[in-house]
Structure formats: structure tokens, C-alpha cells
Amino acid sequence: MEWSVLPAHETAFKKHVLIVEDSQPVLNHVNQQVQKILHLPTITATTIAETAEILIRQSDDIFVALLDLVLPDGADGEVVDLVVSYGIPTIVFTSRFDDDMREQILAKDVIDYILKNNIDNLSYAIRLIHQLHHSRGKKALVVDDSSTSRKYITKLLSRLLIPTYEAPDGETALALLDQHHDISLVLVDQNMPGMSGTELLTKIRKRYLSDQLCVIGISGYGDIKLSVEFIKNGANDFIAKPFTSEQFNWRIIHNLEMLDYIRMARDAAIRDHLTGLYNRKFLFEIGEKFYKNAHGRGVNKLNVAMIDIDHFKTVNDTHGHQVGDMALKHVAALLQKGFRDGDMVARYGGEEFCVLQVSSKADEGHVSLERVRLIIEQSPFNFRDVYGEHSLQLTVSIGLCNGLSDSFVEMIHLADEQLYVAKRSGRNCLCSC
């Protein structure tokens, strides 16, 4: 069974996976799967001695380790103790499983253990590494009036590399959600003073949909009806206390995966597949809302800019469409970085882009667009083809409509007219109306 994840270009984080296994066929298979499916670089070893040398040289380059429990120079998990002592999150491979072995492994403060008896278990290891790799942008919130319970859950989440906030009650939890918009996961206990878990869940769902924020109910009281109550009120899942660390890991990984899949599907509908910018369809959906808000409030103004890469046909004709695509991504990245988070940057079509800005200052749009135009002019586009290394200087022409017109569509039309004025004026300039 093969499990697919995001392409390699979706993330710039590229620390290594350390794989230690004395069986060469198993080592080769695991190494191949990590590289093929996760697109992550690996470091391999077959003994504790080799592992020790690697850690001395490269411990800072390793973000997770997959370790065989029994090696030729250490049959009692010594390699696990060694790697964990460097603070590296660790997953253990073992071919034997019983209660004593389980306790021995978990006592070493590892993330989880994987049985080497079938291919599906390796699939879980791949999924776990993938989630660890993507946990850097996710944070969790644990809501429980018991400090002991909060600390235990926080410890389990830290093993999954998920930074965690803690709240002893519902009001504190809501305040933390207002302050920290990067929280992706909330774990809520049912029995708390002032506000129960399901009451807190109801308030959370008034602010966040289930595909925006994953909420998992947790309780050691009640029967199956309580889990139903949580689910009916919008929880993504429910975990009954007491639970094992293995159960906890599986449920967390599963729910975060589902959140990722939903977000990927949503992004596929609103994003341009090549540049990653918003697409034209979504531009018009959001543009209408921008226009109505600006028109209704009468306080802020809406700036609409059309941006076109100069002489782009020449790039395609001279260097080919593959280089043309690279040029589009180069300019898109500069546009994305050049504007505020609240501004919207979209690919309008071909080599043309559109930027929406809400501003309270008359010249703010003109100033920011001119700054970005200069950044693009001064940022060489470097690429390599079959003929070697090349560098091109790309420029853009910009048309700006910086005053509310009769409609958003009309503002697009006026900005496009100014774009053609800029083209006729010699290109690499900004014209506005």
C-alpha cells in the first residue's frame, strides 16, 4: 500500500531522517520509501558505532530518527538511549512485541514504536514522519482544569513536535484562540468549572468551522452518550480516558491528516496550480466582498492593480515554456513577499497578475506597487537549462485603479486600461487613474 503526500516543493524544511537498521534489505526499503514518498533526505547506519559518529557530526541536521531496537553492537535498545540523549524525536522498529517490551520501549521517551511484521506498519511510520515534518506550522491548545492531565497531554503533543498552549477553563481557552490564530488543534475536557467542554465547543464552532480548527473531546466520565454529544456539537473526534500513548498518537495523526486533506482540497479550488497564488475565480469572489466593504463603510479605499510581465513571449520563445513557467513562479514569489498579509495577490491569467489592497491613505497603493516594481527589476531571474546557467532581468508594467468605481469589475477594467498605458509608455512603469 502506498501513501502519497504533498510534493517536495511544498515545503522548504529539509532536515534529515536518520535510519538505523542492521538488515540491509529492510534498511534499503525504508530508506527508499522515505525518499520516494516524503521527498526527505536520509542518513543511514547499521550499528551503534556508526550512529554515534553521525550524531557527533550531524545531530543538528536530523529532525527525526527511525531506529531498530536490536543491533549487532547493542541488543537492549542502547541506540535509542543514545539518539534520545541528543534530543532527537525517535520512532522505534521492533520485531518482537509483548507487555514487557512495550513498557521498555515507552520508558525510553520515544514518540512511538513500529512492528516490522507487515508493510502497513511502515505506512504508519511514513505518515507519522510526514506529520512531524508538517507540525512546525501547527499549534495545539489543551483545555482541562486538571494541571496533571494538561501536563501529560502537553508532553504527548511535544513528542509529536506540536507546541502547546494550556488553559484551565473555557474563558481562558477562548481568549487564547483570539490571541493565537496559528492554533490548529484543541483538546477539550468535559468536566470543568464555569463552562463544560461541550459548552466551550459550541462557542468555538460559532467562530471556527471543523475544517478550520480540529477539536477533540476528552473525558474520563460518562458513557457513549457523551462522545455522541461532543460529535453532535461539532467535535472532530472524542477520546475516552484513560488512553494509551499509542492510541493518542494515532488519533492525533489521523485528525491532523484529515485537516490537511481538507485544506489541500480547498486550496486546490482557490489556488493557481503553478504559482500557488489565488486563482481568477477566487479573485472575483473576494474582490466583490472587498468592494462592498469599502463602498459600504466609506472609510477605507480599495486599490486594484493589474501587473503584467514585460516581454514574456520573448522568454517563452527564446528559452521554452518550462523556463517561462519558472519565470512566472519567480515573479509570483516576489509579489507574494512584497505585499502585506491583508493584501490579496492573484494570478489573473497568462503572465498577468492582480493585487487588491484596502487602504486608508491616498497614496499607499501607489507607493507599495512602485516598491514592488523596483524589487522585481532588481531581482535577477536565475535558471539552469541544458545549455548551462543563465540570468535574466525581468520587469513588470502596472496599471492601478485607486478609487472606487461603479463596481469591482469596472475597477478591474480601469486598472487594465492603465496597464496598457504603461505598456505604451515604454513598460517597466506604473500608471494610475
The pLDDT of residue 403 is: 76
The pLDDT of residue 3 is: 37
At 355, the pLDDT band (50, 70, 90 cuts) reads very high
The pLDDT of residue 8 is: 34
The pLDDT of residue 225 is: 86
Average pLDDT over residues 307-319: 95
- 189: phi then psi, degrees, rounded to nearest 5: -80, 150
Spatial CA neighbour of 355 closest among 370, 341, 343: 343
Same fold, 8-134 and 138-269: yes
Give the pLDDT confidence of 235-266 residue by residue, as tens digits: 999 999 889 998 999 899 899 988 888 888 88
Q: N- to C-terminal Cα distance for the chain?
A: 58
> Comparing 96-110, 159-173, 199-213, which segment has the lowest mean pLDDT?
96-110
CA quadruple 183, 189, 194, 195: dihedral positive or negative?
positive
Contacts of residue 247, defined as CB under 8 A and 6 or more positions apart, other chains included, come to 239
The pLDDT of residue 404 is: 77
Residue-range domain boundaries for the chain: 8-134, 138-269, 280-432
Q: 3-state class of 113 per DSSP?
A: strand
The pLDDT of residue 298 is: 59
Give the pLDDT confidence of 53-109 residue by residue, as tens digits: 999 999 999 999 999 999 999 988 999 999 999 999 999 988 877 888 888 888 888
* Cis bond before residue 72 (omega within 30° of 0): no
Return the CATH number of the domain spanning residue range 8-134.
Answer: 3.40.50.2300
| CB 376 within 8 Å of CB 395 | yes
Strand partners, 93: 68, 114
117 has a pLDDT exceeding 60: yes
At 180, the pLDDT band (50, 70, 90 cuts) reads very high
At 13, the pLDDT band (50, 70, 90 cuts) reads low
Q: What number of CA atoms fall less than 13 Å from residue 363's CA on the CB side? A: 3
| CB 30 within 8 Å of CB 19 | yes
387 has a pLDDT exceeding 60: yes
- 260: phi then psi, degrees, rounded to nearest 5: -65, -45
Q: What number of CA atoms fall less than 13 Å from residue 286's CA on the CB side? A: 20
The pLDDT of residue 5 is: 39
119 has a pLDDT exceeding 90: no
C-alpha grid cell, residue 107? 520508558
Place of cell 512546525: 136
14 has a pLDDT exceeding 90: no
For residues 301 and 189, which has the higher predicted lDDT (pLDDT)? Answer: 189
| CB 46 within 8 Å of CB 27 | yes
CA quadruple 369, 375, 378, 384: dihedral positive or negative?
negative
Domain 280-432: which CATH number of 3.30.450.20, 3.40.50.20, 3.40.190.10, 3.30.70.270:
3.30.70.270
For residues 281 and 224, which has the higher predicted lDDT (pLDDT)? Answer: 281
**Per the CATH hierarchy, to which homologous superfamily does domain 138-269 belong?**
Response regulator (3.40.50.2300)
Strand runs (DSSP E) across 234-387, as ranges? 237-240, 301-309, 344-349, 352-359, 381-385
> Comparing 53-57, 163-167, 360-364, 398-402, which segment has the lowest mean pLDDT?
360-364
Compute the mean pLDDT over every residue in the chain, rounded to the nearest whole number: 89
The pLDDT of residue 261 is: 85
- Tell me which amino acid residue 323 is: V
The pLDDT of residue 149 is: 95
| CB 304 within 8 Å of CB 412 | yes
The pLDDT of residue 2 is: 36
At 222, the pLDDT band (50, 70, 90 cuts) reads low
Q: How many CB atoms lie within 10 A of CB 74?
A: 18
Q: 3-state class of 331 per DSSP?
A: helix
Cα separation of 97 and 122, whole Å?
16
Which strand ranges, in their side-by-side order, compose the sheet holding 237-240? 164-167, 139-143, 183-189, 214-219, 237-240
